[in-house]
């Protein structure tokens, strides 16, 4: 094909730009169709009586903006431009945020158990700490840091865990990582490759997916009202049990001390047995005195403690941590000690200052009050449903459960709610493996409230009442 491009000598408008503009227009308006081969830069230069560097410049510009594609050893082809954004122009200035907004479904009220309230996030403080970290051309912040996470940050996390959760550890037992999925990947390298993992059912299905995805067998274990049953666990032959003693997700069961001791005893009976304690939302508790972490009761180096700042600060900061017992710490040093940290040193420093300057504690106190108010409001509103529903799991965390007294299955509850524009979550979405839903959870849905206003909570429950009762 030949391109006849009318070139004019104009001050301030280089020839290559005229070629570029012409071809771009042709492509946009469909005159040049996708996959059309363009003349080589040499041929085009000869035809237009311009230098080859001029045509090359025009093609480079077009290629860099995605209008044409260079296929090595073949030449230039018109690219498919469906939805191509004009990189040079204004099209690209939309912020990253808008994208997500559009993705959301339109519910009147979404009782998502995964949300958190960010309205009270201390943006000002975070900004200030971020600024201070970057100030003075703080060069060191941009160099590689400690592989386990910055030592001072680990110490601060250890201090917090000690005072708030009764976790007993040295800072060198703590590994900081970008999210609990990554930490589970690391942990997987440390455990006996042949051992399987026992998990409560229903449970945190993301952990189930990660662990099975890594090629490890996961065995669902029955729970009773106190959590994972030790006899059922013993039967599985698993080497590791993954539990959430502070507030089981999603059932909300708080494991009593007695049961914890039984599980520790299970771990103690054989070398190489471990308990993974996922303490994901232990920061929030509304009734009774705080139950310290299982880790603090462990005298046999059997507990791997997993924690995260996703719930207590924000999901997007991607900072989690695990506390390893000494035998696994040794494995870590051998098998994974060479992995570089997955968390930016700048972010680690911001978090460090947030912890040691007392902002975290203040933030937690404020969030506790906010969540408690929402929690109490939800409990208050749910009084209307009390005749027809049990409330469970309401002592801690950011969600609770409703069970239909008339044994209406969760699918019906979810569908009826949906018809009124309300989203609630059937417990089957947390089922792991191929087992059927245990009887006691068949008529149950989860309601999260963290990112709802009290008005939304009220409205949501009113609509649920209409959906389910009236």
**Between residue 103 and residue 132, which ones bind a copy of itself under the rule CB under 8 A?**
118-119, 121, 123, 126-127, 130-131
291 vs 402 by CB, closer to a copy of itself: 291
10 vs 127 by CB, closer to a copy of itself: 127
**DSSP-derived secondary structure for 113-178:** TT----TT--HHHHHHHHHHHHGGG-GGGGS---TTS-HHHHHHHHHHHHHHH-----GGGEEEES
Q: Does 141 bind a copy of itself (CB under 8 A)?
A: yes
Q: Least distance to a copy of itself from the beta carbon of 275, Å?
A: 15
Q: Least distance to a copy of itself from the beta carbon of 112, Å?
A: 11
Q: Least distance to a copy of itself from the beta carbon of 248, Å?
A: 20
295 vs 444 by CB, closer to a copy of itself: 295
C-alpha 189/C-alpha 15 separation (Å) is 60
Alpha helices in 15-150 (DSSP H): 15-29, 41-48, 52-64, 96-103, 123-134
Task: Respond yes or no on whether the N-terminal peptide bond of residue 440 is cis (omega within 30° of 0).
Answer: no
Among 142, 362, 373, 376, binds a copy of itself (CB under 8 A): 142
Q: Least distance to a copy of itself from the beta carbon of 79, Å?
A: 9
Among 8, 106, 139, 269, binds a copy of itself (CB under 8 A): 139
- Give the x/- contact pattern for a copy of itself in 205-244, rule: CB under 8 A: -x--xx--xxx-----------------------------
Among 143, 194, 271, 470, binds a copy of itself (CB under 8 A): 143
Token pair of 19 as six digits: 């070629």
Q: Does 273 bind a copy of itself (CB under 8 A)?
A: no
Token pair of 127 as six digits: 């900004």
* Beta-strand pair 109-110/240-243: unpaired
Which 14-73 residues touch a copy of itself, going by CB under 8 A?
A: 60, 63-66, 69-73
Which 355-394 residues touch a copy of itself, going by CB under 8 A?
A: 356
Task: Respond yes or no on whether the N-terminal peptide bond of residue 202 is cis (omega within 30° of 0).
Answer: yes
Task: Enumerate helices (H) and strands (E) in the chain, giving the number of each.
Answer: 15, 17
263 vs 467 by CB, closer to a copy of itself: 263
**Among 183, 168, 465, which residue's Cα sits nearest to residue 302?**
168
Handedness of CA 186, 187, 192, 195 (dihedral sign): negative
Beta bridge partners of 277: 243, 305
Q: Does 340 bind a copy of itself (CB under 8 A)?
A: yes
Among 12, 30, 49, 338, binds a copy of itself (CB under 8 A): 338
C-alpha 203/C-alpha 252 separation (Å) is 10
Among 166, 268, 327, 438, binds a copy of itself (CB under 8 A): 166
260 vs 392 by CB, closer to a copy of itself: 260
Q: Least distance to a copy of itself from the beta carbon of 124, Å?
A: 8
107 vs 182 by CB, closer to a copy of itself: 182
- Give the x/- contact pattern for a copy of itself in 172-211, rule: CB under 8 A: ------xx-xx--x---x---x------------x--xx-
Straight-line distance from the first to the last Cα atom of the chain, in angstroms, rounded to the nearest whole number: 72
6 vs 215 by CB, closer to a copy of itself: 215
Among 3, 7, 314, 364, binds a copy of itself (CB under 8 A): 314
389 vs 449 by CB, closer to a copy of itself: 449
Among 107, 286, 339, 395, binds a copy of itself (CB under 8 A): 339
Q: Least distance to a copy of itself from the beta carbon of 389, Å?
A: 30
**Among 326, 276, 332, 280, which residue's Cα sits nearest to residue 305?**
276
CB contact burial 111-149 (16+ within 10 A = b; e otherwise) = bbbebbbeeeebeebbeebeeebeeeeeeebeeebeebb
Among 108, 257, 373, 469, binds a copy of itself (CB under 8 A): 257
C-alpha 441/C-alpha 464 separation (Å) is 19
Stretch of 30-38, 105-113, 137-145, 233-241 lying at the interface with a copy of itself (CB under 8 A): 137-145
Tallying the residues shown for the chain, one arrives at 470
Interface with a copy of itself (CB under 8 A), residue total 89
280 vs 352 by CB, closer to a copy of itself: 352
Q: Give yes or no for a contact between 315 and 158, defined as CB atoms under 8 angstroms apart.
A: no
Stretch of 338-346, 377-385, 422-430, 432-440 lying at the interface with a copy of itself (CB under 8 A): 338-346
236 vs 451 by CB, closer to a copy of itself: 451
Sheet holding 174-177, edge to edge: 174-177, 320-323, 303-308, 274-278, 240-243, 197-200, 218-221
Token pair of 25 as six digits: 């227009």
Among 55, 148, 312, 349, binds a copy of itself (CB under 8 A): 349
């Amino acid at each position: 094909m030949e391109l006849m491009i009318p070139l004019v000598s104009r001050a301030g408008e280089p020839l290559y730009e005229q070629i570029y503009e012409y071809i771009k227009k042709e492509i946009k308006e469909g005159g040049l169709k996708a996959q059309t081969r363009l003349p080589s830069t040499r041929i085009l230069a000869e035809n237009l009586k311009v230098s080859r560097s001029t045509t090359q410049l025009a093609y480079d510009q077009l290629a860099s903006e995605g209008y044409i594609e260079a296929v090595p050893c073949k030449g230039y082809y018109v690219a498919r431009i469906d939805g191509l954004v004009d990189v040079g122009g204004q099209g690209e200035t939309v912020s990253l945020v808008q994208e997500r907004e559009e993705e959301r479904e339109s519910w009147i009220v979404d009782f998502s158990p995964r949300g958190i309230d960010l309205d009270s996030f201390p943006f000002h403080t975070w900004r200030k700490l971020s600024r201070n970290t970057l100030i003075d051309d703080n060069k060191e912040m941009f160099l590689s840091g400690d592989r386990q996470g910055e030592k001072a940050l680990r110490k601060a996390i250890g201090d917090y865990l000690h005072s708030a959760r009764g976790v007993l550890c040295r800072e060198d037992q703590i590994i900081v990582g970008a999210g609990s999925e990554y930490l589970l990947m690391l942990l997987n390298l440390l455990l006996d490759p042949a051992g399987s993992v026992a998990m409560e059912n229903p449970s945190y299905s993301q952990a189930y997916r990660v662990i099975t995805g890594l090629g490890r067998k996961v065995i669902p274990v029955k729970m009773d009202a106190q959590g994972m049953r030790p006899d059922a666990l013993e039967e599985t032959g698993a080497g590791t049990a993954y539990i959430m003693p502070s507030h089981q997700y999603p059932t909300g069961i708080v494991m009593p001390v007695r049961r914890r001791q039984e599980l520790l005893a299970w771990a103690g009976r054989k070398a190489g047995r471990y308990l993974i304690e996922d303490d994901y939302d232990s920061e929030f508790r509304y009734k009774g005195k705080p139950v310290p972490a299982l880790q603090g009761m462990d005298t046999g180096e059997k507990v791997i403690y997993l924690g995260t700042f996703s719930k207590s600060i924000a999901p997007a900061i991607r900072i989690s941590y695990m506390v390893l017992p000494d035998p696994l710490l040794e494995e870590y040093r051998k098998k994974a000690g060479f992995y570089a940290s997955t968390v930016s040193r700048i972010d680690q420093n911001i978090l460090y200052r947030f912890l040691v300057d007392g902002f975290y504690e203040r933030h937690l106190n404020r969030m506790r009050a906010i969540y408690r108010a929402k929690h109490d409001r939800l409990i208050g509103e749910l009084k209307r449903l009390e005749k027809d529903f049990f409330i469970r799991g309401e002592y801690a965390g950011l969600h609770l459960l409703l069970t239909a007294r008339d044994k209406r299955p969760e699918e019906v509850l979810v569908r009826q709610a949906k018809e009124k524009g309300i989203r609630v979550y059937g417990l089957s979405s947390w089922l792991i493996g191929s087992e059927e839903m245990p009887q006691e959870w068949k008529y149950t849905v989860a309601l999260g409230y963290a990112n709802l206003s009290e008005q939304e909570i009220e409205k949501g429950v009113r609509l649920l009442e209409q959906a389910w009762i009236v």
